[in-house]
Structure 1
Amino acid sequence: MPSVAASTGETVTKSGREVMEILEAFDLTRCAWSAAQLAGVDPKTVKRYVARRDAGMNPTGPARRPRAIDPFMPKIEELVEASAGKIRADVVHQRLVAMGFGGTDRSTRRAVAEAKTAWRAGRRRTYRPWVAEPGMWMQVDWGAGPVVAGRATSLFCAWLAWSRFRVVIPVWDQTLGTLVSCVDTALRRFGGAPTYLLTDNARTVTMDRIAGVAVRHPEMVAVGRHYGCKVETCVPFDPESKGGVEATVKIAKADLVPTSANLLGAYASFTELAAAAEKWCEQVNTRPHRETRLAPVARLADERAHLHVLPAEPHATALGEERLVDDDQTVRFGSVRYSTPPGHVGTRVWCRVVGEELAITARTEHGLAEIARHRLSTPGNPSIADEHYPHHPSGRSVHRPTPKARTPEEVAFLALGEGAHRWLVEAAAAGAPRVRSKMRRAVELAAAIGADTVDEALGLAAIAGRFADDDLPSIVDHLAGARPVGEVVVADEQHSVQPGTRGWEVFGQ
């Protein structure tokens, strides 16, 4: 309720309409006593409202009452000024208590907050709106990614300034080779290279700073020349100078890194994380941007006309570490041997880790091309692909014997077909007797009934291990009966052709 003055009985707290009438009366008479008579209030009330208006205060607003901490405000302002606005309110309260302040820490916190706000008012950093040009600026930065299989990952983030097109690539490390590989991937997703590439001052980009001047890494300078970009770095410890990609890092971490806020589960593999990052890029690039009201992918189509054409091959640093292919068609990477296809022995190849795989790139007649990809292995467990060794079937390191005819009899027998080749190899390995005479009989039999039938019979005999004198004619008779070949039984100790006694079960019935 409004309070009542004891001397005059008037209301101290006036409504906005009443205050304006008091001020209007004073402006008319220029006398507080005369204005008080016109407005029906005390002259002191007129002077109070006029004084508030002349001081630049809101006449209709509540009057500020004296506070117990007001005598200590100069000291608070002195501490805030000396600490550049960084001193904590609890430290200020301890000093004020030592000076005789009897109020609560709540009053101190409010007073310190007011002093800090006033101190920052004249020192606040201002920004000029950045009007980007198409095809000019690309910003890149790193962000901490989720933990996959107990191993920390990183998020490479790239942002094309004019179109607001974003690219996020999860990687295992932040080495120079990985950085260049990610830059190459981002540029190819953009469809061209801009004029400038802005990044922070990581050791992979800035080797040193002399008198405030950044000394570029020579490899990054070569990468910039390769793609037609000039590599620029931001002001040290000033992430706001590349705020576009910083925002990309912030949003990507909020959406891709599992936290209690987004309720994401842990990633089962790096491949799952890569798929999630690619899906995230598709979502943010196809929805309208808050600033442009257009989807970044739509603006990218216009910006590509201002981008430089990319070289057909990536920079050598993006290919990974160089290795020499040994005589056994393998390269050694991380103390593990990985196989390569034939034709690269003694040449230089490049090995690069891509997620959970090792990509091997070599220079072919058509340029640089990926020739092999292996799952990452551990020392002592080489990764050898059978298809890289076509002359060593079934992964055997010993060469299988290849029949080569030297006599007319051998030429005639091997001319029957693949079954004859297989029969000769298996019969020799089994130590079959009188091999040459059986070969002559097979040739004679082929002349009588046809080479195809005999060749098929020889193949079945090799599979079943049937190398006796009468085995080949028996198999030929079986094929001649037009009966389908069932399960091939190998003649060994587990199988016998001896007639059984099952037929005696019905005797006497």
Structure 2
Amino acid sequence: MHHYRQALLRMRQGDSDRDIAEAKIMGRRKAGHWRALAQAHGWMDAQAPLPDDEAVAAALQPPKRASTTVSSLEEHRAKVASWVEQNVPGTAIHQALQRQYGWTGSYSAVRRMVAGIRASLPPEVTCRLDFAPGEAAQVDFGAGPILLHPDGKPRRTWAFVMTLAHSRHQYLEFVWDQTVATWLGCHRRAVEWFAGVPERIVIDNAKCAITKACAQDPVVQRAYAECAEGYGFKIDPCPPHDPQKKGIVEAGVKYVKGNFLPLREFRDLADLNAQAKAWVMETAGQRIHGTTRQPPLALFALEQPLLKPLPAIAPDLGTWHRVSVHKDCHVQLERILYSAPFALVGKTLWLRATDAAVALYEDYRHVATHPRGQRPGQRVTCKAHLPPEAQAFFAKDRQWCVNQAVQVGPQCRALIERLLADNVLERLRAAQGVLGLLKPYGAKRLEAACARALAHDSPHYRTVKTILSTKADVQAAQADSHTPPAYAGANRFTRPAAELFPAPTPNPQPSALH
């Protein structure tokens, strides 16, 4: 516009097209065309004001030729426009037109209409967010290198990145998974790394943090809510499908992948994390950041005092799980079994697992706590949770039987010890049965029955019960207990001859003959 206005001004002053060309304002041919156009619009009058730029631009713009071509998609323009507003790809629009309307046109027609519709839409406008010191941090996961897992198989690692939104100083840790327990542990180590807590943490809608994604009313994972409450920060999830709201950490993850990971070798996960921490302090923290134009560590020195202090006692972070009580009175977590009261069999409980303990809740009522199991297949059982009959059975173990027999007497103890010393059969039930006769018959009779059974070398439950039921122990007590039976001793089946054969009857005297 400046050249055209200068040329018009020189023309009003009487300069020729050659003079304008020699002044290198524009060429002679272009000057001649411009002179004719100015005369047609009445701009050559030196007394009239110069036209403004908009009038000059309108005069220079060639008239648009009316298009006589009508798109074969014109009848579907409204539908295509609605799909474009929903960000549906052009290929999907082409397939939908063929499938739903039987349209047989080419994809080029769809592409031209989509381009025209998008050109008429208002442009997307964004604005950069500024954060005060200590106001916010942003968190995200990124794919890391593949390393050998302790189970002996190669596995993908994941980079957990927390970036302070003001200083851009970051915490970087590589982990094996994205579970809730890992998510909480990374948060704890991150705030300890910063030695402070930001006002809020901006996250995406990962399942380890948000159970229901929603722009207005997201549902926070229960364990993560406890973490936020314990450390005193607010959770700020991004709207679904809008990761630009945490663009700072997105750029940080990209920086880790492009600057830290290439051309490095890692022995294991510990070596990977050691190199990552050194890189954060020596490289990432010392660089001139592309946005702030200052080193992140220099800004962090100003931001760190403005972070909220860590709690005096670190909160006990735990994960929540819904578990069912099986008929064996146990619930399962990570293939480890934990007992629950038998009255809750068939019900669904809440299980809260920390590094050291596992707690069970029926709604909000605490019902049990166990130490955390260490290996799959382990069974952690509290005997008080079992049914009464099972408690009674497990309570009457081998030591219990011996202790009860000692209280009855030495003969009962000897019989119980012989039962439990059997090398072939497990005779714990027999020992429990013998001691069960204590209640109906009393200690004195049970001791006597055991003595009689041992005397007959028949230490069996059936023998003792038969002696008591037939009162053989009472009959033996009425006899002379000081005189040992004739068959006592090593020869238990021998008898004196006097008992085996009756004494001969003397022959009568012959009567006198009369």
Q: Which bin holds the TM-score, normalised by the shorter protein?
A: 0.3 to 0.5
Q: TM-score, normalised by structure 1?
A: 0.47
Larger Rg: 2
Q: TM-score, normalised by structure 2?
A: 0.47
